[in-house]
Protein backbone atom coordinates (compact mmCIF):
# COMPACT_ATOMS: atom_id res chain seq x y z
CA UNK A 1 0.00 0.00 0.00
CA UNK A 2 0.99 3.63 -0.43
CA UNK A 3 2.82 5.80 2.05
CA UNK A 4 1.93 9.46 2.34
CA UNK A 5 2.41 11.60 -0.76
CA UNK A 6 5.50 13.77 -0.75
CA UNK A 7 3.91 16.17 -3.23
CA UNK A 8 1.66 17.68 -0.56
CA UNK A 9 2.75 19.57 2.55
CA UNK A 10 2.23 18.28 6.08
CA UNK A 11 -0.38 20.16 8.14
CA UNK A 12 0.83 20.89 11.67
CA UNK A 13 -0.76 22.61 14.63
CA UNK A 14 -0.65 22.82 18.39
CA UNK A 15 -1.93 24.64 21.40
CA UNK A 16 0.36 26.36 23.92
CA UNK A 17 1.31 23.07 25.62
CA UNK A 18 2.56 21.67 22.32
CA UNK A 19 4.11 24.86 20.93
CA UNK A 20 7.76 24.01 21.69
CA UNK A 21 7.38 20.48 20.29
CA UNK A 22 5.69 21.86 17.16
CA UNK A 23 8.62 24.17 16.54
CA UNK A 24 11.10 21.30 16.91
CA UNK A 25 9.03 19.02 14.68
CA UNK A 26 8.99 21.76 12.03
CA UNK A 27 12.80 21.85 12.20
CA UNK A 28 12.86 18.06 11.81
CA UNK A 29 10.57 18.25 8.75
CA UNK A 30 12.66 21.03 7.21
CA UNK A 31 15.88 19.07 7.75
CA UNK A 32 14.31 16.23 5.73
CA UNK A 33 13.11 18.58 2.97
CA UNK A 34 9.47 17.98 3.89
CA UNK A 35 7.23 20.99 3.32
CA UNK A 36 4.60 21.89 5.90
CA UNK A 37 1.88 24.39 6.65
CA UNK A 38 1.87 25.64 10.25
CA UNK A 39 -1.70 26.32 11.36
CA UNK A 40 -0.54 27.70 14.72
CA UNK A 41 -0.48 28.56 17.46
CA UNK A 42 2.23 31.03 16.69
CA UNK A 43 2.64 32.15 20.31
CA UNK A 44 3.52 30.37 23.52
CA UNK A 45 0.50 31.68 25.46
CA UNK A 46 -2.72 29.97 26.53
CA UNK A 47 -4.98 29.25 23.53
CA UNK A 48 -7.89 26.95 22.67
CA UNK A 49 -6.76 23.74 20.93
CA UNK A 50 -9.83 23.42 18.62
CA UNK A 51 -8.78 26.66 16.91
CA UNK A 52 -5.72 24.78 15.57
CA UNK A 53 -6.97 21.21 15.34
CA UNK A 54 -9.88 22.06 13.02
CA UNK A 55 -7.73 23.77 10.33
CA UNK A 56 -5.22 20.88 10.36
CA UNK A 57 -8.02 18.32 10.02
CA UNK A 58 -9.70 20.38 7.28
CA UNK A 59 -6.47 20.56 5.27
CA UNK A 60 -6.08 16.78 5.43
CA UNK A 61 -9.77 16.23 4.72
CA UNK A 62 -9.61 18.45 1.60
CA UNK A 63 -6.43 16.72 0.36
CA UNK A 64 -4.49 19.96 0.79
CA UNK A 65 -2.07 18.16 3.11
CA UNK A 66 -0.53 14.69 2.98
CA UNK A 67 -1.28 14.13 6.68
CA UNK A 68 -1.57 16.06 9.92
CA UNK A 69 0.44 16.45 13.10
CA UNK A 70 -1.30 17.82 16.19
CA UNK A 71 0.29 18.41 19.58
CA UNK A 72 -1.25 19.43 22.90
CA UNK A 73 -0.67 18.53 26.54
CA UNK A 74 -2.44 15.15 26.59
CA UNK A 75 -3.28 14.93 22.85
CA UNK A 76 -6.84 14.00 23.82
CA UNK A 77 -8.32 17.40 22.98
CA UNK A 78 -6.79 17.64 19.53
CA UNK A 79 -7.61 14.00 18.73
CA UNK A 80 -11.25 14.40 19.76
CA UNK A 81 -11.53 17.62 17.73
CA UNK A 82 -9.86 16.26 14.60
CA UNK A 83 -11.96 13.10 14.67
CA UNK A 84 -15.13 15.18 14.33
CA UNK A 85 -14.18 15.60 10.66
CA UNK A 86 -15.34 12.99 8.15
CA UNK A 87 -12.55 10.78 6.82
CA UNK A 88 -10.10 11.93 9.48
CA UNK A 89 -8.54 9.16 11.48
CA UNK A 90 -6.59 10.96 14.20
CA UNK A 91 -4.55 8.66 16.42
CA UNK A 92 -3.26 9.55 19.87
CA UNK A 93 0.27 8.12 19.95
CA UNK A 94 2.54 7.79 22.97
CA UNK A 95 4.86 4.97 21.84
CA UNK A 96 6.54 4.19 18.54
CA UNK A 97 4.62 0.92 18.26
CA UNK A 98 1.32 2.79 18.53
CA UNK A 99 2.41 5.21 15.77
CA UNK A 100 3.28 2.29 13.49
CA UNK A 101 0.05 0.40 14.22
CA UNK A 102 -2.04 3.54 13.75
CA UNK A 103 -0.78 3.62 10.16
CA UNK A 104 -0.61 -0.14 9.48
CA UNK A 105 -4.00 -1.12 10.88
CA UNK A 106 -6.07 2.10 11.08
CA UNK A 107 -4.76 4.10 8.11
CA UNK A 108 -4.48 7.07 10.47
CA UNK A 109 -3.95 10.36 8.68
CA UNK A 110 -3.35 12.60 11.70
CA UNK A 111 -0.89 11.82 14.49
CA UNK A 112 -1.68 13.40 17.86
CA UNK A 113 1.18 13.74 20.33
CA UNK A 114 0.92 14.36 24.11
CA UNK A 115 3.73 16.85 24.78
CA UNK A 116 3.41 16.59 28.56
CA UNK A 117 3.92 12.81 28.56
CA UNK A 118 6.60 12.10 25.94
CA UNK A 119 10.07 13.44 25.24
CA UNK A 120 10.82 15.44 22.12
CA UNK A 121 13.03 12.56 20.97
CA UNK A 122 10.06 10.19 21.23
CA UNK A 123 7.85 12.68 19.40
CA UNK A 124 10.31 13.02 16.52
CA UNK A 125 10.73 9.25 16.28
CA UNK A 126 6.96 8.75 16.19
CA UNK A 127 6.53 11.38 13.46
CA UNK A 128 9.27 9.68 11.43
CA UNK A 129 7.67 6.25 11.85
CA UNK A 130 4.19 7.61 11.08
CA UNK A 131 5.46 9.17 7.82
CA UNK A 132 7.33 6.06 6.68
CA UNK A 133 4.75 3.41 7.58
CA UNK A 134 2.22 2.22 5.03
CA UNK A 135 -1.34 1.11 5.58
CA UNK A 136 -1.44 -2.69 5.28
CA UNK A 137 -4.91 -2.83 3.75
CA UNK A 138 -6.18 -6.40 3.53
CA UNK A 139 -8.36 -7.36 6.48
CA UNK A 140 -7.92 -3.85 7.91
CA UNK A 141 -9.39 -2.10 4.85
CA UNK A 142 -12.94 -3.27 5.49
CA UNK A 143 -12.70 -2.13 9.13
CA UNK A 144 -11.33 1.29 8.22
CA UNK A 145 -14.09 1.72 5.61
CA UNK A 146 -16.66 1.35 8.42
CA UNK A 147 -15.27 4.21 10.53
CA UNK A 148 -16.76 7.29 8.80
CA UNK A 149 -20.43 8.14 9.33
CA UNK A 150 -22.34 8.40 6.07
Residue from 16, 32, 93, 105 carrying the catalytic annotation: 105
Contacts 24+ apart (CB under 8 A), 20-24: 20/44, 20/115, 20/120, 21/71, 21/113, 21/115, 21/120, 21/123, 22/69, 22/71, 24/120, 24/123, 24/124
Q: Which of helix, strand or coil describes residue 64? A: coil
* Entry field: residues in the chain: 150
Cβ atoms of 68 and 82 closer than 8 Å = yes
What is the distance of C-alpha 25 from the center of its chain?
11
Active site residue 105: yes
Q: Helices (DSSP H) in 62-133: which residue ranges?
A: 76-82, 96-106, 120-132
Residue from 72, 85, 93, 112 carrying the catalytic annotation: 72
Residue positions annotated with a catalytic role? 72, 105
Amino acid sequence: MEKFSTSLPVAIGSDHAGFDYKEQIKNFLSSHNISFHDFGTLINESVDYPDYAHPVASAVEKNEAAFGILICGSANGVAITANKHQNIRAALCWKTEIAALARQHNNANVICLPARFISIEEALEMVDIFMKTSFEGGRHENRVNKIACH
